[in-house]
Structure 1
């Protein structure tokens, strides 16, 4: 039998404290020190933000999906994604491309955090 392991998601960043604050606000997490965020319910993974000397230069190979439209479809889902986007932009997020539903996927909205890390409103 495999051993269950906890997962921590680590972000490389130039300003860890600033990026940590963004993600705490975005997800409703609480700060753990100045460079980590934790889910107050204990259900989600810990997020850790580490300072690195180099800046971001290419697209992320892994990204977070922020589940803003779970269980919703069509216009109701789009409205939920747009409302969450409107909440995150004043925190420093950047809006990306809206991907409309197709035969395989529901609509999602590409975004970036304050240092350009991609994430999706899903």
Structure 2
């Protein structure tokens, strides 16, 4: 029998701290304390060689249950649709107009943070409604 493995979700991005802080707001995650010996993450970042400064950022589930989110700077921009995306579960157990109202309210909150609304996919008899969105760097995700 194999054991369950912990995992992290890694985002390639241009501005790791900006994208990480957006996802902290989306998911209720937090920035963990800086490494021992550093009062702040800025202090830690300044201790790195210039080419590594601002190259990565992390956020975590404060309850310790959800996966760690890691954001790393890459030189290339996003050019195609994500092959993997996050479904942010805000309407679990809800159907019809009640579900749509919850999705729309969360969409409005996230648009105010810099997200982009892409498309509402209405319930089709198999799947419930969901909202396709993009984060602050264009990574697709769904409000589900």
Task: Establish whether TM, by shorter chain, passes 0.5.
Answer: yes
Which residue of structure 2 aligns with residue 20 of structure 1?
A: 20
- Structure number, greater radius of gyration: 2
Which residue of structure 1 aligns with residue 93 of structure 2?
A: 71
**Deviation of 1:104 (Å):** 1.2
Which residue of structure 1 aligns with residue 69 of structure 2?
A: 47
Report which of the two has the higher share of strand: 1
**Deviation of 1:3 (Å):** 2.2
**Deviation of 1:4 (Å):** 1.5
Whole-Å separation in 2 of the counterparts to 1:15 and 1:46 = 18
**Deviation of 1:90 (Å):** 1.1
Q: TM-score, normalised by structure 1?
A: 0.97
Which secondary structure state, in structure 2, belongs to the residue aligned with residue 119 of structure 1? strand
Gaps of 5+ in 1: none
Gaps of 5+ in 2: 35-40, 42-56
Deviations 1:20-53 (A, max 9, x none): 0000011100013561110111111110000000
Which secondary structure state, in structure 1, belongs to the residue aligned with residue 62 of structure 2? coil
Q: TM-score, normalised by structure 2?
A: 0.83
Which residue of structure 2 aligns with residue 4 of structure 1?
A: 4
Which residue of structure 2 aligns with residue 115 of structure 1?
A: 137
Whole-Å separation in 2 of the counterparts to 1:75 and 1:56 = 34
Which secondary structure state, in structure 1, belongs to the residue aligned with residue 126 of structure 2? coil
Match for residue 80 of structure 1 among 99, 102, 111: 102
**Structure 1 stretch displaced more, 89-98 or 25-34:** 25-34
**Deviation of 1:9 (Å):** 0.2
Which residue of structure 1 aligns with residue 52 of structure 2?
A: none
